[in-house]
Every structure is written in structure tokens, then in C-alpha cells.
């Protein structure tokens, strides 16, 4: 009999499914998400944070969300660009800096060379400042996100998104010249919108209801694009079992023990990652996933069982009925991300803590630190310090909630 824990030496799936050693982020990275109101929504950024925490629960990475509504490459309501960079990026000691600007820089009009020149010079200044003030920081430039000229007619010939694409083309050249990474948060959302609009125009308009600011459905697609640029692994775990003879054929990113084959099949499984929690009950998110392919690309939680008698089988995890699945489907392999599992609920709890932590940090920054920085208040430093303590405590809870747990699996033949 083969070992119950056998790591694959030959590929059973495309390379993209593997837990990757080439992921862009590293242990103890400090990531600063910098941008305008779209980053300030804290949606694509918190999706990315939760993905990293659940997919790499043993790899601590720290996140700061520093978007400010209305910002351009010159700055905005939070101060000049140099003020913003110092206070909202460099003071956090970033080892990774992402920047998505451009939506406001183009001024919502047809392409204007003079306006574009301001954007180009300002973008180069940002990169050069980061290089000067944080020389070891890795920079990811992000093409401006989508302006919706798809579900509604463009306001002028060619449309505003075409202007943003030209701005993004410049950023790609700047990234190449300055040795930065580049992420495209425009193209996939455009193609997803086009397909969604063909299927359900009313629902597709909910992706960007004001044409500028995506709702969670749009932000999920944008998070997928950033994770793609960062070479995020698709695999949660992969388990391949055989019941005749009883055997654990292979495992990836998981440990399977105590496989028993009697009138029912049972085993214990300890995955080393969690699936990304997706609220597919939201019809807009479900439509976005359908046409962007988030689950096939980034949420492969695989189970394959050979040797089962034909017919339906009931899958139970920790005593909870999960799904009735045919032997043929189990033979081909199922994706547990398609079902409501204890692992999905655990990941959802992680995301809840992600949102709570980022709200506390945002309140500290936007309601206390910045508005009161010119006031002489004796208790301001202590209050800010206490908010920091609370945010750190929430981060510890977030990490603890993501740690792997062992689960009891059972398959029973349905008569």
C-alpha cells in the first residue's frame, strides 16, 4: 500500500493549480494600497488581503489601505502628493507599494495631450519618490480601473475608458523602465462586463452603478486581476483517494489520515489553506464570477475518489451534509469551493475580521489622525496609540481564525 501522504512528483493538473513558491508577497511584507476613491472603497484591497491570509495562514503579511477619494497624481483632499506619500505610505514602512490613480487625472473627457502629460510626469514622480524614500520597496503600478462604457453608451466618441487604457499603456512602459510590476485591473473587468451585459443587462449595470465606483462584484474581478499579476496560486488543496484498494493516491497542500473503507468511507483531512469566501448568493457576484472565472483560477479545493459504486453518494464534513454527488462526478473530481463547507465558513469569519480591522485603521487615520493633526490635544497621541493596539489585536484574531483545522469527511451510498 502506498503512503497515506504522498506528494505528487508528476503533474495531475495544470501548473497554475499548484501552491506556488513564486507568489509576489513574502513573509513579513508590509503592503500599502495607495490610490483614489476606488482604493478608498476598501473592497478589492480587502478581497486581496483575505485571500492572502486564508491561502497563506502561516505567512504573516501586514496591509495598509491608503486610498483617498478624488486623488490624482498631484494629491488631493488629503494633501499634496508628497504629503500623502510620507504620511500614508512611507510612515508605514512599506516593502510593497501598489498605486492605482488615473480615474480622476483624465478629468472625464476625451484624451487631452496636456492633461496626459501631467499624469505621466506625476506618475514618474511617485515612482521616483518611492525609490528614493523606500529603496527596498517593491512597486506594483496598477492600470486605471474600468469606466463603464459598456452597459451604457459612451458620453463622447470613443468613450472615457479608452482614455484610461491609454493612461494604463503609459504605466506599463513606466513599470518596464523603472523595474516595477504592473497589474491590469481594467481588461478583465471590461470582458466580464461585456459577457454579463449580454446575459443580464440590468444586473451588469450593478457592477459599476455610477460608471466609476465598482460594487463588490466588480471589485472581486479587480482583486482577481491583482492576484493574477502577483502570481497567486489557484490551489487550496487536492486530495485523491481510492477505495478499491483502500489508498491515498496523492495529496497537495493537505494531510489525509485514517482512511477507512467499510459500509461508508471516512477520513480525516487537515488542509494547509482555506478557500476564498465568495457570497454567491449575491446575484451580481455570482454573475461576475461566472464570466471572470474566479473559482477555476483561484479557488481550486479539489476532491477525487476512485472505486465507488455507481450512483449518488452523500458527502458529509464534520457531521454536516454538504452535497449529494454521483460516483462519476467524484471519479472525475469535484471542487469543494462550489459548496458551503466548514472551511468556507471559517474563511468567511476571516474576512469579517479583515473588514473590522480595516474599518478601525481607517477610522484612526481619517477621523482622528488627519483631521486633528493641527490641533493641540494632549490626549491625541494616546488615543491614536490605543487605536493601533486595537487594530493589532484584530489582526491577531484574523490570523488565528485562518489557522488550519482538521475535519472529518464521510461518504455514504444513497439508496
For residues 225 and 249, state if they share a domain: no
Are 186 and 144 within 8 A, CB to CB? yes
Cβ partners under 8 Å of residue 40, min gap 6: 65, 67, 68, 69
Cβ partners under 8 Å of residue 116, min gap 6: 106, 166, 167, 170
Host H or E run for residue 328:
helix 327-332
For residues 253 and 350, state if they share a domain: yes
- Given a cut of 70, the residues of the chain with pLDDT beneath it are 1-20
For residues 269 and 221, state if they share a domain: no
- Domain of 94, CATH number, reads 3.40.50.1110
Which string of DSSP letters, residue by residue, matches 261-277? ESSEEEEEEEESS-PPP
- What pLDDT score was predicted for residue 415? 84
Write out pLDDT tens, residues 72-111. Answer: 999 999 999 999 999 999 999 999 999 999 999 999 999 9
- Phi then psi for 31, rounded to 5 degrees? -95, 130
Rg of the Cα atoms in the chain: 24
Are 219 and 48 within 8 A, CB to CB? no
Dist CA 325 CA 315 (whole Å):
7
For residues 156 and 111, state if they share a domain: yes
Domain ends where: 169, 202, 229? 229
Are 218 and 188 within 8 A, CB to CB? no
Range of the domain at 282: 1-19+234-415
All three cell numbers of 56: 497563506
For residues 269 and 212, state if they share a domain: no
For residues 114 and 178, state if they share a domain: yes
Dist CA 153 CA 195 (whole Å):
16
For residues 384 and 351, state if they share a domain: yes
For residues 317 and 240, state if they share a domain: yes
Rounded to 5°, angle at Cα 328 from 324 and 332: 105
Write out pLDDT tens, residues 46-61. Answer: 999 999 999 999 999 9
Cβ partners under 8 Å of residue 154, min gap 6: 160
For residues 365 and 379, state if they share a domain: yes
For residues 287 and 319, state if they share a domain: yes
Q: How many domains does the chain have?
A: 2
- What pLDDT score was predicted for residue 20? 55
Model confidence, pTM: 0.94
- What pLDDT score was predicted for residue 4? 31
Domain ends where: 184, 211, 229? 229
For residues 2 and 144, state if they share a domain: no
Domain ends where: 203, 229, 255? 229
For residues 194 and 320, state if they share a domain: no
- Phi then psi for 273, rounded to 5 degrees? -155, 170
Q: Is 141 exposed, middle or buried (0-12, 13-18, 19+ CB in 10 A)?
A: buried
In 161-209, beta strands by DSSP E: 181-184
Amino acid at each position: 500500500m502506498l503512503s497515506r501522504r504522498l506528494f505528487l512528483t508528476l503533474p495531475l493538473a495544470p501548473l497554475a493549480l499548484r501552491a506556488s513558491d513564486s507568489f509576489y508577497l513574502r513573509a513579513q511584507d508590509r503592503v500599502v494600497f495607495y490610490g483614489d476613491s476606488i482604493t478608498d472603497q476598501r473592497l478589492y484591497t480587502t478581497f486581496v488581503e483575505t485571500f492572502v491570509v486564508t491561502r497563506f495562514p502561516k505567512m504573516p503579511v501586514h496591509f495598509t489601505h491608503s486610498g483617498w477619494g478624488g486623488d490624482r497624481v498631484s494629491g488631493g483632499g488629503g494633501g499634496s502628493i508628497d504629503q500623502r506619500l510620507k504620511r500614508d505610505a512611507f510612515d508605514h514602512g512599506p516593502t510593497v507599494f501598489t498605486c492605482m490613480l488615473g480615474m480622476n487625472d483624465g478629468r472625464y473627457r476625451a484624451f487631452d495631450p496636456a492633461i496626459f502629460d501631467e499624469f505621466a510626469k506625476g506618475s514618474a514622480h511617485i515612482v521616483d519618490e518611492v525609490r528614493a524614500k523606500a529603496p527596498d520597496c517593491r512597486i506594483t503600478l496598477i492600470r486605471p480601473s474600468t469606466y463603464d462604457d459598456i452597459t451604457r453608451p459612451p458620453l463622447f466618441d470613443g468613450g472615457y475608458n479608452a482614455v484610461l487604457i491609454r493612461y494604463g499603456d503609459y504605466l506599463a512602459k513606466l513599470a518596464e523602465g523603472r523595474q516595477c510590476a504592473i497589474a491590469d485591473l481594467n481588461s478583465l473587468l471590461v470582458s466580464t462586463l461585456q459577457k454579463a451585459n449580454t446575459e443580464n443587462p440590468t444586473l451588469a449595470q450593478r457592477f459599476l452603478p455610477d460608471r466609476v465606483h465598482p460594487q463588490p462584484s466588480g471589485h472581486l474581478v479587480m482583486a482577481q486581476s491583482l492576484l493574477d499579476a502577483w502570481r497567486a496560486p489557484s490551489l487550496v488543496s487536492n486530495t485523491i483517494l481510492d477505495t478499491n484498494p483502500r489508498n491515498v493516491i496523492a495529496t497537495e497542500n493537505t494531510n489525509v489520515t485514517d482512511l477507512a473503507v467499510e459500509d461508508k468511507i471516512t477520513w480525516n483531512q487537515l488542509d494547509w489553506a482555506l478557500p476564498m469566501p465568495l457570497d454567491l448568493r449575491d446575484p451580481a457576484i455570482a454573475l461576475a464570477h461566472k464570466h471572470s472565472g474566479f473559482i477555476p483560477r483561484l479557488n481550486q479545493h479539489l476532491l477525487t475518489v476512485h472505486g465507488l459504486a455507481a450512483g449518488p453518494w452523500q458527502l458529509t464534513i464534520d457531521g454536516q451534509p454538504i452535497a449529494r454527488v454521483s460516483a462519476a462526478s467524484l471519479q472525475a473530481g469535484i471542487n469543494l469551493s462550489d459548496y458551503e463547507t466548514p472551511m468556507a465558513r471559517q474563511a468567511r469569519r476571516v474576512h469579517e475580521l479583515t473588514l473590522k480591522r480595516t474599518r478601525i485603521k481607517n477610522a484612526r487615520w481619517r477621523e482622528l489622525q488627519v483631521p486633528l493633526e493641527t490641533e493641540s490635544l494632549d490626549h491625541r497621541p494616546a488615543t491614536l496609540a490605543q487605536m493601533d493596539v486595537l487594530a493589532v489585536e484584530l489582526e491577531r484574531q484574523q490570523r488565528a481564525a485562518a489557522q488550519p483545522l482538521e475535519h472529518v469527511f464521510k461518504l455514504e451510498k444513497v439508496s
